[in-house]
Amino acid sequence: MLNRGDTDFSSSKGTSCEPGILRHEDTEFSDVGTPMHPQPGNKAPVEDDISPTKSLEGYEEDSESGHEVHAMQVHTPSQSPTAGLRKKHLYSTASLKSVTSEKEEEEEEASCLSAEAVVFLTLIKNIIGSGLVTIPLSFKEAGIVPAILLCTLYMVISIYCFLLIISASEQDGVEDSQDSGVETLGDIAKKAYGEGNEWPVDVFAVIMTYGGTLSYTVLLGEFTRYIFSTVFNIPFLVENKIVRILCYFVVLQLLILPSDLSALKYASTLGNLVTAYILLLVISLGCILDAKKAQDGKKPEFFKFGFGYFAAIAFFSSSFVCHYNAPKLYEEYKKQKGPSASIQSFQRPVIAAFITSGLLYLGVGLSGYSAFGDNVDGDIFKSLGSKRFSSVATHKALEAGTILYLLMIMTTYPLVFNAMRKSTLRMLETYFCTSYQDSMTTYLVVTEIFLLSQLAVTYICDNVDVVIEFKGAVIAPVILAVIPVVLYFKLDEDRSTKTSVLGWFCALFAGLAGVLSLLNWIKKMGRFSWW
């Protein structure tokens, strides 16, 4: 099979052709062994549903979905004699009908929402993840007013750097290709620095995704313990951490082994609904507890001074980062929007999604911190679960929210894990020149290394705030600000002075704050017995 942009000059008249390959020099055209003899001067018969503009990108996606498809090379009459490039087509009729029906279903689903609405909802889901549970702790660490200012600052930096990535994807580079879309930060790095020099960006993207899945596994440990203790009341599973980990290890193993996760295609919709419920639940319960003066420790403080600022910075940095998805989201937006797509029209849902997420974070942080004061836990669900509400309905709502959040994690984890695994296999294939993606042994080894290492961390550390703070100090600043600024500056040397100043501020501030946050994290770790 030819790669994108390759040309096959090996065929000549009289040379035998493989089944399913159409060559314009030959007098016979083979269709899975069935000969067809065109009349002289007439065009070779071609299936009506074959699109002459079918891209290789679609061909690869169809191949990954399991349909049997073949490559066909033809010369179109409209091509100039100097073009000489044969285009690739899907040609199996049965496969084409199946692929076409799938594409029609996807287009029908996408048509229910505008391109801007899809971007807005997708970004909301990407931004509000596991970091949601640590937001009240950010207010405890910094105080109400500094936390609001830091949240707003990181929201603005995130918007600016997210749009820098989109602008960089539209720039010409040393590896620019009109036939291939830019769907990853590594693709932009390849444009900026050339083939083979994008590996640092790919590595950070994989580490960032690993940190996200690790946060989910730690949350699974916390949530299963709560469910087994309050909902099902099984003391053995509450006290035995290893058995509890093995329980969801089996479930996760079954969910992540398949490479085709089409069964979870509605997980994003479920995630949006569950996220909305969780947000309303946490904010409302926090307000109830605040109204009853439920905090047992110090009352919320408006201002605090100290290294707690850097802990809050790490939490907000980790909570807003979703920039590794920016190129792919923009490519999907352009496909759905069509010729009218532009960076300007893409900006509106992006800005709206970040502002909405920031406001929701502020609501959760203020209500959670106001309710529990300095006794707020690193996981707001732990704090809520420790309180006894007078209303039975309130208890049931909290239990339902915990179970729904657990189900959302279980359905989201495989999707994020699969993206991390695919990126890792592609990196191995690129840098070691071996087709690791087709090797089942490598596939299983990579899968088990990632999963087992995350479960090992979960056994050692069951505090999700520790994991998220480390991710926000070490990895998130690089993905959120440093890489976007460096890539854009490399590709756009004629940028304005204003862009240069803002870009350098974002990169230097995020980088310096990340270093100080890491030092603060190391200092805090001395308080944990397992450290």
Q: Which of 67-76, 259-268, 396-405 has the highest mean pLDDT?
A: 396-405
State the Cα–Cα distance between residues 74 and 381, nearest whole angstrom: 60
User: What pLDDT is stored for residue 291 in this prediction?
Assistant: 58
Please check the confidence at residue 62 and state whether its pLDDT lies above 50: no
- pLDDT, average across residues 80-86: 40
- Classify domain 115-525 by CATH number: 1.20.1740.10
Specify the pLDDT at position 84: 41
- Let me know the angle formed at the C-alpha of 63 by 263 and 329, rounded to the nearest 5 degrees: 65
Is the pLDDT at 11 greater than 60? The verdict is no
Q: Give me the long-range contacts of 243-248 (CB less than 8 A, separation at least 24).
A: 245/221, 245/455, 245/458, 245/459, 248/220, 248/221, 248/224, 248/410
Q: How confident is the model over 458-483, as a mean pLDDT?
A: 92
pTM for this prediction: 0.74
**Residue written as token pair 């909301």:** 124
d(CA 73, CA 85): 9
The answer to whether 200 and 180 have CB atoms below 8 angstroms apart is: no
Please give the Cα distance from 332 to 454 (Å, whole number).
31
Task: Reply yes or no on whether the pLDDT at 294 is more than 50.
Answer: no
Q: Which range among 51-55, 323-327, 481-485 shows the weakest confidence by mean pLDDT?
A: 51-55
Mean of all residue pLDDT scores within the chain: 76
Which tokens in the block code for residue 97? 């009908």
**Residue 485: band (very low, low, confident or very high) from pLDDT cuts 50, 70, 90:** very high
Whole-angstrom Cα Rg for the chain:
26
Cβ(385)–Cβ(351) below 8 Å? no
DSSP-assigned letter for residue 478? I
Per-residue confidence (pLDDT) for residue 436, from 0 to 100? 58
109 has a pLDDT exceeding 70: no
Q: In this predicted model, what pLDDT tens digit does every residue of 434-453 receive, in sequence order?
A: 665 567 888 899 999 999 99
Q: Which whole number is the average pLDDT over 362-375?
A: 88
Residue 471 has which token pair?
């991710």
Q: Which residue has the higher pLDDT, 183 or 488?
A: 488
Token couple for 39: 């009349």
Averaged pLDDT, 74-78: 43
Instruction: Check residues 197 and 60 and name the one with the higher pLDDT.
Output: 197
Answer for the pair 301, 375: CB distance below 8 angstroms, yes or no.
no
pLDDT at 501 > cutoff 70: yes
Q: Which residues touch 458 (CB under 8 Å, ≥6 apart)?
A: 214, 217, 218, 220, 221, 245
Question: Tokens in use for 394?
Answer: 């309130």
Quote the CA–CA distance of 234 and 240 in Å, as a whole number: 10
Phi, psi of 260 (to 5 degrees): -95, 110
For residue 413, what are its two tokens?
């984890």
How far apart CA 457 and CA 250 sit, in angstroms, is: 17
CA angle 429, 432, 434 (to 5 degrees): 55
Q: Higher model confidence: residue 83 or residue 521?
A: 521
Q: What is the pLDDT of residue 19?
A: 40
Q: Which residue has the higher pLDDT, 267 or 191?
A: 191
Q: pLDDT tens-digit profile of 153-182? A: 999 999 999 999 999 998 877 644 444 568
Between 21 and 529, the more confident residue is 529
Cβ atoms of 502 and 160 within 8 Å: the answer is: yes
Per-residue confidence (pLDDT) for residue 78, from 0 to 100? 42
Task: Return d(Cα 136, Cα 158) in angstroms, integer.
Answer: 20
Give the Cβ contact number of residue 73 at 10 Å.
18
Q: What is the DSSP string of 504-528?
A: HHHHHHHHHHHHHHHHHHHHHHTTS
480 versus 398: the higher-pLDDT residue is 480
pLDDT band, residue 22 (cuts 50/70/90): very low
pLDDT band at 94 (very low <50, low <70, confident <90, very high): very low
**Which has the higher per-residue pLDDT, 80 or 118?**
118
Pick 352 or 109 by higher pLDDT: 352
Quote the pLDDT of residue 151: 96
For residue 241, pLDDT beyond 50: yes
Which amino acid is residue 198, in one-letter code?
E
Would you call 31 helix, strand, or coil by DSSP? strand
Query: Six-digit token pair at 132?
Result: 């949601």
Q: Would the pLDDT of 49 be above 90?
A: no
| Integer angstrom CA distances of residue 395 from 290, 387, 389, 400, 450 | 17, 9, 6, 9, 36
Tell me if residue 467 falls in helix, strand or coil.
helix
> What residues have CB less than 8 Å from 405, skipping those under 6 apart?
219, 223, 274, 278, 381
- Token reading at 359: 């406001």
- The domains of the chain are located at 29-100, 115-525
Contact call for residues 133 and 218 (beta carbons, < 8 A): no
Kindly tell me the sign of the dihedral angle through the C-alpha atoms of 522, 526, 529, 531.
Answer: positive
Give the burial string for 417-456 (b: 16+ CB within 10 Å, else e): bbbbbbbbbbbbbbeeeeebeeeeebbeebbeebbeebbe
